[in-house]
Structure 1
Amino acid sequence: MTPGTPAVNPADEILDVVDENDVVVGQAPRAEVYARGLRHRCTFVRVRDAGGRTFVHRRTATKLVFPSLYDMFVGGVVGAGESYDDAALREAEEELGVSGLPRPVPLLKFLYESADGAQSWWSHVYEVRCDLPVDPQVEEVAWYGFLDGEELARRLTEWTWVPDGLAAHERLRELGL
């Protein structure tokens, strides 16, 4: 945000509403998209440090979706008219509190649908290496750490994770990524 620019309430952010083929069919404020269960677009960015460890965090209790759950991705919604690639870089830098990250590398795209069918979004999954010291947004991240593969596998059975992140993790695992 540029100095002097008023902050936008996340609930008021305008999102593209998309169909089952990821074609834009309309636009609506984020709060309406969530309340009505409208299909939209999201990015997931797996962040790894120089040692190959994965950035993991617990979301704050104030998050609109999946408050206080653990996640192994940073990311978020794609704004109206924004590309997945631009949203992935923007979200990664915002959530990690860094600037100058390399452009995240796309890994896969899938349609996430919640078990109850109430939520659905196109999910573009990326990966980026972050060698910079991170300073995550306190509005987004309540706790964080970089976990090696063994510890991450152990924590998968111990912590409560965001379901869409688990779905993305499983797809990456199936692809050997």
Structure 2
Amino acid sequence: MGELIERVDVQDHVIGVVERGDAVRNGWYYRMSMVLCRDHDGRYLVHQRPKNSSRFPGQYSWLVAGAVGVGESYEAAAGRELAEEMGVTAAVTPLFKFLCDGELGPYWFAVHEATIDPVQLQPSREEIGWCDWLAERELTVLVDQWPFVSDSRDAFERYLKYRSAVV
């Protein structure tokens, strides 16, 4: 049996439990949670997926992301993904959520933020091929130049709008 997730409706209400693969194949709504990581200098963590990865091989992202499990909150999923992919535990702060028509189907995408000490990172070799810290101006340029996961690019544009509206 594959990864179990909650199938949700367009208002993000749970309507059942399904395998993630079935949700993707059938275009059912489900939940994803992500964390943008910054260091104490305000730089963003950017990573590349391994070239042999089944999802988005060799592509870049500025988010640590994964599906929300059955009975799991968005925030708990964000913290779990951070620990699984980057080997670090940190408080995650919810920022915003949006309905994403992504490459892996339509889903609710919840964006969180965490401040990380770079020396504590222990990236998972199965999930992370390369990672580094970039200033916002560098990231803004590279999002358009490097092959970023499209959902990551979409979330970056929304994040910039969100941040400018909050400030």
Query: TM-score, normalized by length of structure 2?
Result: 0.90
Structure 2: distance between partners of 1:13 and 1:171 = 28
How many percent identity over aligned positions?
A: 36
- In terms of mean alpha carbon deviation, does 62-71 or 150-159 score higher? 62-71
- The counterpart of 2:111, out of the listed 125, 142, 152, is 125
SS of structure 1 residue aligned to 2:70: coil
Aligned equivalent of 1:71: 61
Structure 2: distance between partners of 1:16 and 1:87 = 13
1:15 is displaced (CA, Å) by 0.5
SS of structure 1 residue aligned to 2:124: coil
Structure 1: distance between partners of 2:80 and 2:102 = 25
Instruction: Evaluate the alpha carbon distance shift between residue 22 and residue 64 of structure 1 in structure 2; reply closer, same or farther with a 3 A threshold.
Output: farther
Alignment of 1:32-111 (within 5 A): 32-99=22-89, 101=90, 103-111=91-99
RMSD: 1.8
1:121 maps to amino acid = Y
2:154 maps to amino acid = A
Structure 1: distance between partners of 2:140 and 2:115 = 20
Aligned equivalent of 1:30: 20
1:124 maps to amino acid = A
1:62 is displaced (CA, Å) by 4.4
Q: Which has the higher helix share?
A: 2
Structure 2: distance between partners of 1:172 and 1:108 = 8
Query: TM-score, normalized by length of structure 1?
Result: 0.85
Structure 1: distance between partners of 2:21 and 2:52 = 14
Unaligned 5+ segments in structure 1 are: 1-10
Structure 2: distance between partners of 1:57 and 1:46 = 11
Q: Is the 8 Å Cα contact of residues 38 and 114 (structure 2) preserved in structure 1?
A: yes
1:151 is displaced (CA, Å) by 1.4
